[in-house]
Amino acid sequence: MRADVLRFAGIWSAELVSVIGSSLTGFVLSVWVYQESGSETQFALTLLCATLPGILITPFSGVIVDRFDRKWVLVLSDCGAALSTVALLLIVQAQSLAVWHVYVATAVGAICGTFHLTVYQAMTPLLVPERHLGRANGLMQASWGLQIAAPVVAGTLLEVVGLRGVLLLDLLSFAVATAVVLATRLPRSVTRPETVASPPSLGADLLFGLRHLRAHGLFPLVALFAAFNLVFAVAGVLIRPLILSFTGPATLGVLVFAGGAGLFAGSLVMGLWGGPRRRITGMSLFMGAGGLALAAHSLSPSVALIAVVAPAFLFVLPVINGCVMTVLQVKTEAGALGRVLATARTLGQCAVPIAFLSAAPAAEHLTGPLLMPGGALAGSVGELIGTGPGRGIALIFLVDGLLLVALAVMTFVLPRLRRLEREIPDAPRADAEPAPVS
């Protein structure tokens, strides 16, 4: 096995340990906020603090990752998150923890995590040969599936070791991850690659990724990715209310875990397989399959149905994400990877807040009344998916799934997307094998 693949294995292991520790802490803190405040709004603000700062800081993370030594950016981001956890631990020890402390710590963790992810995505194509890049991107997403298991493990840990114990375990995970990164000797071509005509100012540097995507013909792929994320986010917001409309919290936990298992299985399959050779065509096929599984959520208020279609839908997610990321990595120069991938991620995620803000009100005030007994759609669509509580959410799932199928067809039909891999040349890559300097 080549030395660069071994280095990737070390970096991936460190990332996995860190993500597991952070996921446990994040879940436990969100539970503490809800128990302390009794407010769903304050609980939702915890989730907002875990997502919005990362989206806002992503363009800046790309600039930093391309301008400075990527290994030390990784180490410092881990140290920043660890210091935030230490502060929380000291506050808990003093029995002075307040909800706003959790908001601040969660936001700091989200910012550090964004730098983490940007570094990993920029270094992966420089450590792994192109033929294995799809596999590497699949493995990088395995941590998503493990995060789904966090509530199950964290709930047990909270009972056994308490909040302080969970925070200590998180600090241990940071220490292990940082030690692995420091012990991994990385070549300069990975940590400080040659830059691509670096813009003269920070403002120009922030716009560099957008200009690069448009100039190299990659913008349609990023726009497709944003549309896919919008569809996925709508389902993510509404899946728990959909399940709770016909069953209880205990069953919800089981079904959420089953969905996470599907996501984890898709990551492992992508890691072993590497994805389709024609990635854009493969994306189209998996989007179509995912759209059908998403639409099937609407057919019946059935635990058995959700137990099948939720893992099936989440199974395709790592394949689609892995294909998008691999194409962007292969087509982007080494010195521009941080800025370009950060810009692509920002554009891809910008639709997520729209879904968060619109999906639930639409279900509550628009589609919900339409599918109550006697509602305007009770005698038409209601004959297919039923009427009553939760059926308005089911209608949104049906439309959401059909939109994903339409995206799949569009990906296959539009020449600019279908031919993108063949028409855009791969970026040159420097050999990652020379003697490491860091």
All domains in the chain, ordered by first residue: 1-191 (1.20.1250.20), 208-425 (1.20.1250.20)
Q: For position 332, what pLDDT does the model report?
A: 93
Residue 51 CA: distances (Å) to CA of 55, 167, 277: 7, 20, 33
Predicted confidence band of residue 317 (pLDDT cuts 50, 70, 90): very high
**Nearest 10 degrees: CA dihedral of 221, 226, 230, 233?**
100
pLDDT digits (tens, 9 = 90+) for 34-74: 778 776 567 667 877 888 898 889 999 999 999 899 999 99
The radius of gyration computed from the CA coordinates of the chain, to the nearest angstrom, equals 22
**Nearest 10 degrees: CA dihedral of 336, 342, 347, 348?**
110
Q: For position 433, what pLDDT does the model report?
A: 46
- Higher-pLDDT residue of 391 and 29 is 391
pLDDT digits (tens, 9 = 90+) for 386-430: 999 999 999 999 999 999 999 999 998 999 898 899 899 998 865
332 contact partners, CB below 8 Å, separation of at least 6: 212, 216, 218, 340, 341, 427
